[in-house]
Structure 1
Amino acid sequence: MLRVAVVGSGPSGCYTAQHLVQLDPGARVDVLDRLPCPYGLVRYGVAPDHEKIKSLQGSLRTVLEHKRVRFLGAVPVGPGGVPAARLRELYHAVVYCVGAATDRHLGVPGEELPGSWSATEFVSWYSAHPDAADTGFLRGVRSAVVVGVGNVAVDVTRMLARGEGELRPTDMPHTALTALAASEVTEIQMVGRRGPSQARFTTKELRELGTLPDTAVHVDAAEAALDPAFADPSGLPPPRRRNVEVLRGWTAPPRPDARRLIRLRFFLRPVELLAVDGRVGAVRFERTAPDGEGGVTGTGRFEDVEGQLVLRSVGYRGVPLEGLPFDAATGTVPHLAGRVLRGGAVAPGEYVAGWIKRGPTGVIGTNRSCAKETVTSLLQDAPALTARTLPDDPLPALRAEGANPVLWQGWESVERAESRLGASLGRGVVKLPDWESLLTAAREGDGADPRP
């Protein structure tokens, strides 16, 4: 009987578990997560107003409720938790599906000023991640600057422009809803260092900005026209052509009666965050120009853009995992078709899937094929891996290491508590926003898990 630990319960972890039990009729899989809640970025990264994408939790739930899959929440692996070496002793194989856990920085002076945050920190706050802190993101903010032109940048821009009536039906924590409802932000500038034809958002998400009530969207035609493809996008690949066509439709003067204005800016590179009264008050950008090779070059001309809130959305990076090799250049674990490589040689029983394997690329569905490749490698290795005798159940040994896992019944108890909270507020489901409330709710429902 093959026993596998999957570290991480987001899409890549769930798809790994799914492929294992589908392709090996005897496999038993424990899905470990340091959080007491499953689903990873589907729960804590997808914007709360994107209900269709969040509904993916239903299919991930089916995986975690499989009779040969067991969810073990609140089990950190590594420093302060279960040592990776001990995990390897308790399972025939360990698959790490931990994503890319940190944000890229701008690397400019003033980036650490109060009011300057990563977009991920802002997303974590309005998504009720238990590690997030309510830092008064919107206090005293009239203008916001979002650095980056990808889908996360579009998400945070859209959330800054949403009104209470649109956010109240979501599962957003009540403190974030209250703060966003009281927001005095009237202008949001989303800024990219290259041109509109090179922006990385998808057209569906981009178009949503134009549907926001009481909000105008504007693109400066002269600025965008620095991109030769803006005037004639016919030669672009279809996704980028559609983006440019949407942007071209926003070059007309914005309607003056809108309460909020979103400006999409291009060919501006941040060089410094400027302080006003001890916190960020503006961003200094250098105007860039196409270099003819797909990149940009500085022009030596500068523009200061007002913003009491600055959110950077310029990409993610993986972080080293205890006991595993790490390629600092790519932010990934070296691997061969998912098999971890140590010094160029395969490390038996150790595997990776998801962003820690391939870097922060692709969409949620990309994790399915990525996980299948890793599982295929693992099952090819299984005859040698299963020659090692294991304890009948690793759970007592995990508890001996200090872990106090939240089992599936505990997670269901969290769901019930979130439904009760929402009902008490006159809303639907509302997420519990902190470790104490999550663990209290989980422990009320913990019991003996009948699954092996």
Structure 2
Amino acid sequence: MVHWYTQHPNAPSPPPLDKLSHVSLIGNGNVSLDVARMLLTNVDVLRKYDVPERVLDVLAESTVKHVSIVGRRGPLEAAFTMKELREMINLPDASMVPLAPELLQPSEGVPLTRQQTRVLQLLSKGRGRSTFYRSPAGLMVPSSENTRSQLSLAHTVVDPATQRAVPTGETSTVATDLVVTSLGFHGEPTAPYFDPGLGHLRTLSNRIVTNAGTTLRNVYGSGWASTGAHGVLAATMMNAYDVAETIVNDRMNPVEGTEAVLNPDPSLEELPEEVVHGVRERNIVEYPDWKRIDEEEMRRGQVRARLLLGLSAHKTHFQRFFIGV
């Protein structure tokens, strides 16, 4: 879904939003809220930004009226951040259906962080149906085009000892037209330093750690591939700065005893072979080429009173309702 509305080169075909009424998002992190906002925000609002026109075309024809965000744990454990939650709740053309009051009451004797307190306060101002403490257990596809899929949800509670969601034995079903999963990022397990338990690379102070527990010189990890799926773009950016600082410090103050796997003294006078090969095969867009693309986007944007188009098409109107977090 995200690849589609950002028009990633590997983007799949657009979802049939003109044939859907109810969408279920599995997972309650920032990506889920982002998907929900895209589905619920008026197209005229989205036109002010660089949303590709072909995406706006599909959203303009959308018949989605309800979006449910399903989380296996409660609001205190939810992965979304305040900024994203506030923007979701304050959408002008969407509303929430009321959360059960007991969901907004923390367990007795459990101290809350400032973030958790603010989340509960913000949720109490909205009106929303509870889809907290639910974990997807199965999906029964419709037998005909006129019926909906049945999403089976296992009811859960949070184990105080492990903070993990455990099933209670109860189940319920939700009739839905589309299920989108947003269950966190797992790095590709192609590197020998990938930790399947963590779901990302093993690092220590931004440096890759081997199976033997030693750090590799000149090999670093950054972003979600290194830290796992948490934080927003700003957090990832700060992590990148931190990694860059580590690289500079290691260059200026080499540490003995680490295992070097790359040439610590590469020639800075020549382009890397990968770049030379990429230019030769025209797999790399050079800066003058990028400028040509940028100029064409600006020209098309000016024609349609927009700054950027993303090289796409156009249309209008969208407004629906949000039914649960």
- Please say whether Structure 1 and Structure 2 have the same fold, judged by a TM-score greater than 0.5: yes
Aligned pair in 2 of structure 1 residues 394, 278: CA closer, same or farther (>3 Å)?
farther
Q: Say if 1:196 and 1:233 are closer, same or farther in 2 by CA, change over 3 A.
A: farther
Partner SS for 2:68 = strand
2:142 is aligned to 276
For 2:270, the equivalent position in structure 1 comes to: 393
> Does 2:160 match 1:292?
yes
Kept in 2, the 8 Å contact 1:148–1:190? The answer is yes
Residues 379/289 of structure 1: CA separation in 2 closer, same or farther (3 Å cut): same
2:95 matched residue in structure 1: 216
Tell me the percent identity: 28
Which one is further off, 211-220 or 331-340? 331-340
Determine if contact 1:188/1:263 at 8 Å carries over to the other structure: no
Instruction: Describe how 1:162-201 pairs up with structure 2 within 5 A.
Output: 162-201=41-80
**Structure 1, residues 351-388: CA drift from partner, whole Å, max 9, x if none?**
33332233233323431224323432244339998774
Question: Is residue 325–residue 333 contact of structure 1 (8 Å, CA) maintained in 2?
Answer: yes
Q: 1:241 to 1:335 in 2, by over 3 A?
A: closer
Question: How far apart in 2 are the matches of 1:134 and 1:163?
Answer: 22
Deviations 1:224-263 (A, max 9, x none): x156418x89941111111111111224xxxxxxxxxx74
The answer as to 2:122 corresponding to 1:250 is: no
**Aligned-partner SS, 1:217:** coil
Contact 1:353 1:374 (8 Å CA) reproduced: no
- Contiguous gaps of at least 5 residues in structure 1: 1-121, 252-261, 434-452
In the alignment, which of 130, 133, 139 is matched to residue 267 of structure 1?
133
Residue 313 of structure 1 is matched in structure 2 by 182
1:241 matched to 2:117: yes
Q: Compute the displacement of 1:181 (Å).
A: 1.4
1:117 is aligned to: none
Match of 1:369 among 231, 242, 250: 242
CA distance in 2, matches of 1:341, 1:403: 35
Amino acid in structure 1 at the alignment position of 2:115: P
For 2:4, the aligned partner's letter is W
Distance 1:396 1:302, change over 3 A: closer
- Between the aligned partners of 1:296 and 1:400, the Cα distance in structure 2 is 50
Structure 2 unaligned segments of length 5 or more: list them: 313-325
Higher RCO (C-alpha under 8 Å, 6+ residues apart):
2
Aligned residue identity for 1:358: T
- Taking a change above 3 Å as real, the CA distance of residues 148 and 342 of structure 1, as seen in their structure-2 partners, is closer
| Cα 1:263/1:175, change in 2 over 3 Å | farther
Aligned equivalents of 1:432 and 1:177: distance in 2?
12
Q: TM-score if structure 1 supplies the norm length?
A: 0.59
Contact 2:100 2:130 in 1 (8 A): no
Deviations 1:373-428 (A, max 9, x none): 34322443399987746373125664347653222232222222222232344433
Q: Aligned partners of 2:264 and 2:25: how far apart in 1?
A: 53
Q: How far apart are the structure 2 equivalents of 1:137 and 1:371? A: 43
1:350 equivalent in structure 2: 219
Q: Which amino acid aligns with 2:106?
A: A
For 1:286, give the aligned amino acid: A
> CA-to-partner distance for each residue in 1:130-184, whole Å, 9 max, x for gaps?
1102233424110011111111111111111111111111111111101111110
- 2:270 counterpart letter in structure 1: D
Alignment of 1:100-249 (within 5 A): 122-221=1-100, 225-226=102-103, 228-229=105-106, 235-249=111-125
Q: Relative to 1, partners in 2 of residues 1:274 and 1:420: Cα closer, same or farther, differing over 3 Å?
A: farther
Query: Matched residues in 1 for 2:216 and 2:281: separation?
Result: 26
RMSD, aligned α-carbons: 3.1
Q: Tell me which residue corresponds to 1:439.
A: none
Q: Could you tell me how far apart the structure 2 residues matched to 1:153 and 1:337 are?
A: 30
- Give how far 1:319 is off: 0.9
Spell out the pairing of 1:15-30 with structure 2 (5 A cutoff): none
Q: Distance in 2 between matches of 1:206 and 1:182?
A: 26
1:333 matched to 2:209: no
Q: 1:342 to 1:207 in 2, by over 3 A?
A: closer
1:308 Cα shift?
0.9
